A and B are shown apart, each in its own frame.
Chain A
């Protein structure tokens, strides 16, 4: 429910910031509201994404997850101060060893997420949560 309210507010905020005209009945954001964090986008947003939007969103997600994975690994290994431990080279090493947590291509995840949101009662689930559970399932199978 909170997410849904935020959706309306967020869209309104964007319209406000871009000088869009408001008609009667549209919820107007108060000045203190910030645009939603990308982690809280849901199936409602996913359904408005085009092909390229999905690819870009998921590419960013996968890149971010890989960066976080090498960071966590570096902390665990006591090499967090070594810049090479937290870099694209470190990610490449994990990828070559088939050790990345989020290892599938954006198009593969996009297809899985499409399937998940095909069920209309899934629409309020954040995309991030779908990614986490989908990836966990794929890694387990």
Chain B
């Protein structure tokens, strides 16, 4: 990246937009010449469409497919009886010059797929053929944006003919959905203070809602809403309150685990560090869930800052490591549930919360923690309904870090990392990706592995100890495992569940897999040649169901990098067979 003055940046964006526009025009003309019926339509996504995404079958128009974040599709053309015949239909290679973890979750609207890459390139692609329609390459406003855990981007939001992307230099960019031209571009926070954006935004009632990352650099986290039309800020919610940040000095978690805290020492440190909320972290890494009936917005708040040194941030460090509910119309606080008070193990709440309806009719918010438990919370009050069985092992849980290194499971990556879960509402199962990584927690400041994990923190995978992954179906009505499979490497990326009784997920070794959602039996696999460490999606076009996934590896875990989006379908699938 080069240091680009703002004036040059502005001119560059206009030029890029013009090029994008020309390309789009060229694409449309070419496609028109071949088959008018197959031309991308560039549908304007409305608020009503976003609210109705649950019942709409064909598209994938928001990060979690609909506001519940369930990543559940009603499509059934690909199902347990035929998935073994699934094959690649097309592949799109982004052609970016610098690789990183490829974590995008595609958005698909009426034949157009919107993607993002590491370092903030966004593109529109013909979802039938993989042909690129336009491409936008974001030029950062500072020479070297500061970000934790790789130059990632997890996708866009779309609404009203615009595509919204957060950027590593902490900006929110609105692009014309037809051309890729910049419509507006605002700074969400100061990138030179360590703020950055990697999450996919969420559009609600013509507002673009976005959280912030940077808790590895002493930021104060927040969630903000912007006017989708012009980028003007509407409301702000700080994830660290200026009053009551210290909480109740909890000695145990809400579920009764001893946190082994030195409460007198923390209280004594309040005199010196009572203002630590100003730099206390609290990133919001992933896209919130939203309930249009109640206007409640649910999101997960990550680690306090500094990650492991709790001596300089006494108290419970609210609302870090919490699920938080606010009113999406105003940003007003409603409730929170803290998974780990005063965390010194980097056990973030990162995986996106999911709204479900339990068998007893109660609406719940569910989140898979790095703690290796799934939390099922009352959506109205935030009270714990149940905590699941562990989906990864616990050893020396909440042991305090030492100078020599204290061994603990789960390690700092989880449990569940940022990976979105999926839910099959018919079965009541949630599908969770897990990591088994025993780690040493060390009290002095140091990065884990130079060049691999840039957290500036002292946790380290234990050499010689076996690491592996888990993929677990958890019955949300009981908290018990329905099934669990082990994978050879820790799992990161995300899941997709379909009404074909399938659940899809990928591995770092390049395997992209389909499992029977009821039993966990692997029914199909494809070797992609790079880690499939992104959430899959599905959509239907011309009566044909497709499965799409980005397979570009993961930089943190050392999985092979690449830049391909793969799209699968059944050979010769009949039109309208899913009706």
Contact = CB atoms under 8 A, between A and B. Distances in A.
B218 A103 contact: no
A5 interface: no
Interface in B283-308: 305-306
B279 A98 contact: no
Contacts of B450: 115, 118-119
A141 B1 contact: yes
B446 A108 contact: no
Contacts of A137: 144
B285 to A, nearest CB: 18
Interface in B409-456: 444-447, 450, 454, 456
A110 B309 CA distance: 14
Contacts of B312: 50-52
Nearest to A140: B143
Nearest to B143: A139
Contacts of B218: 105, 107, 110
B447 A118 contact: yes
B91 interface: no
Contacts of A141: 1, 143-144
A111 interface: yes
Interface string B138-173: 000111101000000000000000000000000000
B143 A138 contact: yes
B504 interface: no
Most buried by A among B141, B192, B309, B444: B192
A108 B194 contact: yes
A114 interface: yes
A110 B194 CA distance: 11
B196 to A, nearest CB: 11
B216 A111 contact: yes
A115 B447 contact: yes
Contact of B142 (A47, A103, A111, A119): A103
B15 interface: no
Contacts of B194: 104-105, 107-108, 111
Nearest to A111: B456
Contacts, number: 64
Contacts of B272: 52
Interface in B211-232: 216-219
Interface in A69-111: 98, 103-105, 107-108, 110-111
A105 B278 CA distance: 14
Interface in A9-50: 47, 50
Most buried by A among B6, B217, B219, B454: B217
B193 interface: yes
A119 B309 CA distance: 20
A1 B279 CA distance: 37
Interface string B180-192: 0000000000101
Contacts of A104: 146, 192-194
A107 B193 CA distance: 7
Given A51-B309, A98-B142, A108 B1 contact: no
Contact of A107 (B5, B143, B217): B217
Contacts of B454: 115
A105 B218 CA distance: 9
Nearest to A139: B143
29 contacts: A51-B306, A51-B312, A98-B141, A98-B142, A103-B142, A104-B146, A104-B194, A105-B194, A107-B193, A107-B194, A107-B217, A107-B218, A107-B305, A108-B146, A108-B193, A110-B218, A114-B445, A114-B446, A114-B447, A114-B456, A115-B454, A118-B447, A118-B450, A138-B143, A138-B144, A139-B143, A140-B143, A141-B1, A141-B143
Interface of A: 47, 50-52, 98, 103-105, 107-108, 110-111, 114-115, 118-119, 137-141
Q: Identify the 3 closest CB pairs spanning chains A and B, nearest first.
A: A107-B218, A105-B193, A141-B144
Given A104-B192, A118-B447, A140-B144, 18 more contacts: A50-B312, A51-B309, A98-B142, A104-B193, A105-B194, A107-B218, A108-B192, A108-B194, A114-B445, A114-B446, A115-B450, A115-B456, A119-B450, A137-B144, A138-B143, A138-B144, A139-B3, A141-B1
